[in-house]
Amino acid sequence: MDRLDLAQQPAEREPATTTVTERSLWTQFAEAASTETFCRSWLALQCRMIEGVSGALVLLGAPDRGPFSPAAVWPDPRRNMKYLAAAAEQALIERRGLLLRREPGSAPETPPHLHYHVAYPVEAGGHLHGVIVLEVSPRPEPELQWVLRQLHWGSAWLEVLFARDQAGQDDAAKKRLQTVLETAAVAVGHERFYAAATAFVTALATRLGCDRVSLGFVRGGRTHVRAISHSAHFRKQANLVRAIAVAMDEALDQHATVVHPPDVGRGALITRAHVKLAHEHGAGAICSIPLANGGATFGVLMLERPPESSFDTPTVELCEGIAAMAGPVLELARREDRWLVVKAAETCRRVLGSLIGSGHLAMKLTAATLAGVALLFTLAKGDYRVSATTVIEAAVRRAAVAPFNGYIFEASVRAGDLVRQGQALAVLDDRELRLERLKWASQLEQLVRQYHQAMAAHNSAQVSILAAQVDQAKAQLALLDDQLARTRVVAPFNGVVVTGDLSQSLGSPVERGQVLFEIAPLDAYRVILQVDERDIADVAAGQRGHLVLSGFPTDQLPLTVEKLTPVSTAREGRNYFRVESRLNKTPERLRPGMEGVAKIEIDRRRLIWIWTHQVIDWIRLALWTWLP
């Protein structure tokens, strides 16, 4: 519970008198310059409006925290009002108006007759600022409720007082925040660090009325001045710059804001270098603020004012806010506006310091692990293998062609079907052939009959002619019989149909020699590897490897390189050589056209070489291209 401090009385005393007129009270109330004066005049006016008030008290304190001490006592400020503490404390706890009946002599210093304590909390903006307590004489219940309502209405004046004070504080905070943002924004409006730092310190000196504002950054454990307001070339002022740097080091070593002359209420700090700077270079007041980010101090901001303009607490807080806002921005600009070599050296130095110095156990363990892995890969050896995309091709592809001109009558298979030797792939229409055969058969019978008649007539010339025509007819019949026998296009061996689908072409004409199907055997395959030209020099016939196909990636099929063809093909901007291999064993699931990745085993080499040789070769080729 927020404690009550009734021992503390208002600083100003109002004599207990009844001669104070109501007009003078209103005048004091209207012209009150302090909270205590406002509360005393307000409480006196309230007690005049409410009859039968024998004592009154206003307790105020820090919002919601306390302690709450008397801000006004009526009628006599010297009177001990501790007997009202219980009602005040209860109203503060419950945060509502209370009417409490008090019996005669219920507490020390209370009147020996029945009385009431009326307590009402003072709230503004949702925060509890204090409490009002009145001691009133007995009266009917409606009149007591009227007293409570009167306090409720009258407390609005106190709420207005606190709201006005809070608004003033908010307005001052907004102005300070605006100043911080506008000053810090100057540092962001330049690309280069020196221009940003000079513009920042100059703007800060102009806005805060400073004679000189200096900005320094830590390098090598000491502060180096990098910018001075209204001065683009300050290196010639060696003594002044040295004195400013020493004073900055003094603030840097203490990790605290150093003010000279020291402000009342601030802790005791060493100001010897600041005193010397003020004495030798005419600085009246000095304020040095360390710049920090993430717990690390990286610089100091120093402000110098004339003697008549010292750095009070609000000004120091404003300067600290500006430094906290603009400092990291300027530090980032300074770090980015350095040579790349300097950045790399600093990074290496920082990392090396973390590895060698104390702490950073996780980084040290990581570095040790990486070093061990690098050493292992440098010394250890592994199998060097060349990878290549692969496609399965049939060792033999037999074409089934149309034996003569005709029409498709039946097609029972298509690409992807397994066929047996002698199985019909397609049947051609033989109706015209059969009609042609009947024609020649009947013609042959006629010729044979005529031949016999010529023999009987002993006509040798006619016999010779008819004998030739009979032979012609027999040859024609033999040709037709052969064509009829070949109307069925059959598979030459057991295999799989690679290409060909006549199921949608029934009745369509075909020409003699037209390829209808292509059949490949199921036990003879060639593995075609597309080896990158960068790796072809390591590949030779007889080398072994393994193949993993997309169709069954869990199985590794052993293979042997048989032939390297001196023909390259371009694909995706790279050249690839065709390398033929054979499988040491042929699984039943294998089909022509399957693709995968094969790895040819070359020899054993160091792991570091295996993983880096392609990059090294690329760098060598690039250097060869670029160098004159």
178 phi, psi to nearest 5 deg? -65, -40
**Whole-angstrom Cα distance, residue 283 to residue 281?**
6
Determine the residue type at 256.
Answer: A
pTM: 0.47
The total number of residues shown for the chain amounts to 628
**Whole-angstrom Cα distance, residue 622 to residue 624?**
5
pLDDT band at 583 (very low <50, low <70, confident <90, very high): confident
The least confident of 162-171, 212-221, 607-616 is: 162-171
Q: What is the pLDDT of residues 416-475, one digit of tens each?
A: 778 888 788 888 877 887 888 888 888 888 888 888 888 888 888 888 888 888 888 888
> Would you give the distance in Å from CA 258 to the centre of its chain?
40
From residue 216, alpha-carbon distances to 6, 244, 302, 320 in Å are 52, 9, 8, 15
pLDDT at 4: 59
- Per CATH, 22-169 and 187-337 having the same topology is answered yes
Cα pseudo-dihedral 138, 144, 146, 147, rounded to 10: 70
Judged against a pLDDT cut of 60, whether residue 15 lies above it is answered with no
**Whole-angstrom Cα distance, residue 41 to residue 27?**
9
Q: What is the pLDDT of residues 374-415, one digit of tens each?
A: 888 888 888 899 999 999 888 777 787 878 788 888 887 887
pLDDT band at 170 (very low <50, low <70, confident <90, very high): low
pLDDT at 160: 75
Identify the CA nearest to 411 among candidates 326, 510, 493. 510
pLDDT at 30: 67
pLDDT at 14: 41
pLDDT at 596: 92
Q: What is the pLDDT of residues 45-68, one digit of tens each?
A: 888 888 878 788 888 888 877 788
Percentage of residues in the chain with pLDDT exceeding 90?
A: 9
Q: What is the DSSP string of 184-212?
A: HHHTTS-SSHHHHHHHHHHHHHHHHT-SE
pLDDT at 264: 62
Q: Residue 507: helix, strand or coil by DSSP?
A: coil
Identify the CA nearest to 525 among candidates 475, 465, 585. 585
* Residue that wins the pLDDT comparison between 487 and 318: 318
Return the CATH number of 524-626, one of 2.40.30.170, 1.10.10.10, 2.60.40.1180, 3.30.465.10.
2.40.30.170
Percentage of residues in the chain with pLDDT exceeding 70?
A: 91
Q: What is the pLDDT of residues 106-133, one digit of tens each?
A: 555 555 567 788 888 888 777 787 888 8
pLDDT band at 599 (very low <50, low <70, confident <90, very high): very high
pLDDT at 492: 81
Judged against a pLDDT cut of 80, whether residue 7 lies above it is answered with no
Q: What is the pLDDT of residues 532-578, one digit of tens each?
A: 988 888 899 999 999 999 888 888 889 999 888 888 888 888 889 99
**Whole-angstrom Cα distance, residue 67 to residue 6?**
10
Residues facing 495 on adjacent strands: 419
Q: Where exactly are the structural domains of the chain? A: 22-169, 187-337, 398-519, 524-626
Q: What is the pLDDT of residues 243-288, one digit of tens each?
A: 999 999 999 988 899 998 887 656 678 888 988 888 888 778 999 9
* Residue that wins the pLDDT comparison between 532 and 513: 532
pLDDT at 1: 44
Judged against a pLDDT cut of 80, whether residue 370 lies above it is answered with yes
State the chain's mean pLDDT as an integer. 81
**Whole-angstrom Cα distance, residue 601 to residue 558?**
11
Return the CATH number of 187-337, one of 3.90.1150.10, 3.30.450.40, 3.30.1180.20, 3.40.50.2000.
3.30.450.40
Domain 398-519 sits in CATH at 2.40.50.100
> Would you give the distance in Å from CA 271 to the centre of its chain?
46
**Whole-angstrom Cα distance, residue 378 to residue 611?**
11
pLDDT at 19: 43
pLDDT band at 600 (very low <50, low <70, confident <90, very high): very high
* Residue 238 burial (C-beta neighbours within 10 Å; 0-12, 13-18, 19+): exposed
Contact 383, 600 (CB under 8 A): no
* Residue that wins the pLDDT comparison between 531 and 108: 531
Return the CATH number of 22-169, one of 3.40.50.2000, 2.20.25.10, 3.40.50.300, 3.30.450.40.
3.30.450.40
pLDDT band at 290 (very low <50, low <70, confident <90, very high): very high
pLDDT band at 5 (very low <50, low <70, confident <90, very high): low
